[in-house]
């Protein structure tokens, strides 16, 4: 059933993206419908992760595909929290294709070779805490990158001096940058908790793992400190958020 849940979830995110695109083209706004489609995708994500959690007897982030799906799941959680709080319309248009891509890759991966159950030798709550908060942090960083991409789209529209339909539907520049910064802060808090938890784990991660996680943590810390004391122009901040997230995801998989 797990792969079926994942397939249905993936289909909903593709549908969510296509729906948002169709609404954009027709000039209509249906934020409730958009939320509903993303909600359905999220529900089936939860069902998949729940089944995998039962299978492993622990938080289902035991292999590459599951990590991808968990990051997608945390992206969607952040979308629900941030989208409503900041009234960021069209976030679904940009978030859904990323989640769809992650899940499609994970689906293909699992369909080809599912490593199966990996129950832990022993339960370590600090391990669960480390893994879960770190990946939630990646969700926040991912959504910050999405806000950065939306900034680029809006900036390009405005610089063209002929802002079109997309511009009317994208959030204002200031809101995008505010949301981006808050997401970076949330992500940094979560990853700090995640790294701190690692020090209490029964079986500590390798030096390489610590180094990579620390590097990601440092990159985002530097970005936030620079933004706090020498605010960057939005273009630089947005580009940095996107690049930092790509680095973060690459290091995660390199580990």
Binding site for other proteins (CB under 8 A): 27, 154, 158-159, 161-163, 167-168, 170-175, 177, 227, 231-237
Q: Which of 160, 158, 169, 161 is nearest to 92 (CA)?
A: 169
Give 84 or 168: the residue with its C-beta nearer to other proteins.
168
Q: Helix, strand, or coil here: 57? A: coil
Smallest gap, in angstroms, from Cβ of residue 238 to other proteins?
Answer: 11
Rg for the chain (alpha carbons), in Å? 18
* In the complex, least distance from residue 178 CB atom to other proteins, rounded to whole angstroms: 9
3-state secondary structure of 15: helix
Q: Closest distance between other proteins and the C-beta of residue 239, in Å?
A: 11
> How many Å separate Cα 62 from the centre of its chain?
18
Instruction: List the structure tokens of 35.
Output: 């939320």
CB atoms inside a 10 Å sphere around CB 73? 24
- Closest CB 91 distance from other proteins, rounded Å: 15
Q: Which is nearer to other proteins, 167 or 192 (CB)?
A: 167
CA–CA gap between residue 50 and residue 47 (Å, rounded): 5
Residue placing its CB nearer to other proteins in the complex, 203 or 236: 236
- Of the pair 120, 172, the CB lying nearest other proteins is at 172
Cβ proximity to other proteins: between 1 and 162 the closer is: 162
Specify the residue, 188 or 238, whose C-beta has the smaller distance to other proteins.
238
Closest listed residue to residue 180, CA positions, set 213, 155, 209: 155
Residues contacting residue 55 through CB under 8 Å, at least 6 positions apart:
2, 116, 117
**Cβ nearer to other proteins, comparing 160 with 206:** 160
Three-state SS letters, 35-53: HHHHHHHHHHHHHHHHHHH
What 8-state DSSP symbol labels residue 64? H
Q: At closest approach, how far in Å is the CB of 172 from other proteins?
A: 4
- Cβ(158)–Cβ(233) under 8 Å? no
Shortest distance in whole angstroms from residue 231 CB to other proteins: 3
Q: How far is the CB of 115 from other proteins (least distance, A)?
A: 46
Six token digits for residue 6: 């994942």
């Amino acid at each position: 059933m797990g792969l079926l849940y994942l397939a249905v979830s993936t289909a909903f995110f593709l549908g969510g993206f296509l729906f948002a695109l169709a609404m954009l083209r027709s000039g209509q706004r249906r934020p409730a419908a958009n939320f509903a489609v993303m909600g359905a995708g999220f529900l089936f994500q939860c069902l998949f992760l729940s089944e995998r959690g039962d299978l492993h007897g622990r938080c289902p982030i035991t292999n590459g595909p599951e990590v991808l799906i968990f990051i997608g799941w945390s992206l969607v959680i952040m979308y629900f929290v941030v989208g409503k709080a900041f009234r960021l319309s069209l976030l679904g248009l940009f978030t859904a294709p990323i989640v769809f891509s992650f899940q499609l890759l994970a689906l293909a991966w699992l369909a080809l070779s599912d490593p199966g159950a990996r129950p832990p030798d022993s339960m370590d709550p600090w391990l669960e805490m480390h893994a879960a908060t770190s990946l939630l942090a990646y969700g926040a960083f991912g959504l910050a990158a999405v806000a950065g991409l939306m900034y680029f789209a809006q900036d390009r529209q405005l610089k063209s001096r002929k802002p079109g339909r997309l511009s009317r539907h994208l959030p204002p520049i200031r809101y995008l940058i505010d949301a981006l910064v808050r997401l970076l802060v949330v992500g940094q808090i979560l990853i700090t908790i995640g790294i701190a938890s690692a020090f209490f784990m029964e079986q500590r991660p390798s030096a390489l793992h610590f180094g990579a996680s620390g590097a990601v943590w440092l990159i985002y810390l530097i970005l936030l400190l620079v933004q706090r004391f020498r605010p960057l122009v939005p273009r630089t901040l947005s580009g940095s958020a996107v690049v930092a997230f790509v680095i973060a995801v690459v290091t995660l998989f390199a580990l």
